[in-house]
């Protein structure tokens, strides 16, 4: 049995990723209960703060995706309540959640990341979409990848292979955020590398290779069983696998993250990993990548989550 008292798993919220978050929360709750932990699962509503004040948990596991779950807001509230939690602090979350900022940070420490342009919706309205989009294509070339500057689960994201496809991609992107990140698309093997830190420094779990049936790892491919084939560990050379692990740990460290993260990469034909984005609250559903990586490493997911909670509680009391 766990030496923790009761712990709180936060899931749901009001972002576009609410349903995925609820699934992550259920999975984490189930594996923690199987590991002997007294778990309470809660949504983020007006009753949350009073309930924490009345009965403070020993630690909190945040499985909120997008919005307040990853931009530091809910973690700021947890700090106001003096409650320990798993994961990065609010300042680090704010940097990591903004994809262009995260790309700038990892580029500053020598990591490869696709060349990109970040523009708010107002720019296209004020200066004219046609001329601005034309310059983007001339500058970055084709194909491109368009996605909201903040957010996750590939919502509003798409590959653009011709100039004629770019306006529709921008419309789809702006449906999920007011600022677009348009980056040069790198052909290669798509992998995700999860990083965990049990108190002795961040360590990369085996890379998970992602092969979606339709060629694009979109929302449906991520969360519908059978739409994507996964390989854990990824089918990479030993040298490329080591480079991916080093890239993920370097990104985790440079961004000031702690406990847990997941870095998404493209490995090009030369075996060089290119940083795409990092997740401070990785998905924990049945089709999510961190649980696959943990299994490939021979780690029980319940033990992993319990250890992270225990470390968070110890860190808080220290």
C-alpha torsion sign, points 256, 79, 288, 304? positive
Single out the catalytic residue among 2, 153, 158, 311. Answer: 153
Contact between residue 242 and residue 203 where contact means Cβ atoms under 8 Å apart: no
- Catalytic, 277? Answer yes
- Catalytic, 286? Answer no
Angle at the Cα of 125 (from 121 to 129), degrees rounded to 5? 90
- Catalytic, 138? Answer no
Place of tokens 């968070």: 312
- Catalytic, 153? Answer yes
The tally of CA atoms less than 13 A away on the side-chain side of residue 146 is 32
- Catalytic, 184? Answer no
Q: Buried b / exposed e across 67-87, counting CB within 10 Å, b at 16+?
A: bbbbbbbbbbbbeeeebbbbb
Single out the catalytic residue among 85, 223, 259, 288. Answer: 223
- Catalytic, 158? Answer no
Single out the catalytic residue among 12, 13, 152, 283. Answer: 283
Contacts 24+ apart (CB under 8 A), 197-203: 197/252, 197/258, 197/259, 197/260, 198/307, 198/308, 198/311, 199/311, 199/314, 202/249, 202/252, 202/253, 202/257, 203/249
The tally of CA atoms less than 13 A away on the side-chain side of residue 58 is 17
Q: What are phi and psi of 131, to 5 degrees?
A: -70, -40
Place of tokens 């200066």: 127
Give the CA radius of gyration of the chain. 19
- Catalytic, 108? Answer no
Place of tokens 């795409």: 276
Q: Buried b / exposed e across 171-181, counting CB within 10 Å, b at 16+?
A: ebbbebbebbb
Single out the catalytic residue among 58, 197, 209, 277. Answer: 277
- Catalytic, 30? Answer no
Active site residues: 17, 153, 223, 262, 264, 277, 279, 283
């Amino acid at each position: 049995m766990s030496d923790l008292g009761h712990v709180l798993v936060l899931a749901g919220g009001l972002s576009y990723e609410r349903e995925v978050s609820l699934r992550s929360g259920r999975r984490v709750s189930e594996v923690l209960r199987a590991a002997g932990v007294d778990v309470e699962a809660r949504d983020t509503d007006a009753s949350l703060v009073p309930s924490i004040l009345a009965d403070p948990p020993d630690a909190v596991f945040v499985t909120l995706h997008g919005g307040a779950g990853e931009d530091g807001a809910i973690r700021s509230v947890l700090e106001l309540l003096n409650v320990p939690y798993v994961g990065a602090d609010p300042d680090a979350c704010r940097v990591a959640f903004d994809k262009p900022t995260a790309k700038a940070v990892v580029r500053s420490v020598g990591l490869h990341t696709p060349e990109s342009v970040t523009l708010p919706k107002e720019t296209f309205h004020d200066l004219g979409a046609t001329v601005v989009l034309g310059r983007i294509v001339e500058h970055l070339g084709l194909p491109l990848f368009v996605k909201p500057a903040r957010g996750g689960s590939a919502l509003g994201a798409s590959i653009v292979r011709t100039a004629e496809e770019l306006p529709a991609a921008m419309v789809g992107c702006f449906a999920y955020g007011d600022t677009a990140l348009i980056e040069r698309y790198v052909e290669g093997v798509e992998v995700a590398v999860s990083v965990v830190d049990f108190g002795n420094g961040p360590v990369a779990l085996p890379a998970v290779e992602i092969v979606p049936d339709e060629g694009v790892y979109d929302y449906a491919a991520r969360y519908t069983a059978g739409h994507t084939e996964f390989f854990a560990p990824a089918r990479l050379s030993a040298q490329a696998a080591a480079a991916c692990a080093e890239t993920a740990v370097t990104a985790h460290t440079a961004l000031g993250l702690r406990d847990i993260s997941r870095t998404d990469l493209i490995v090009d034909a030369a075996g060089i990993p290119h940083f795409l984005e990092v997740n401070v609250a990785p998905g924990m559903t049945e089709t999510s990548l961190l649980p696959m990586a943990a299994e490939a490493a021979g780690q029980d997911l319940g033990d992993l989550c319990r250890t992270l909670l225990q470390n968070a509680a110890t860190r808080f009391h220290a």
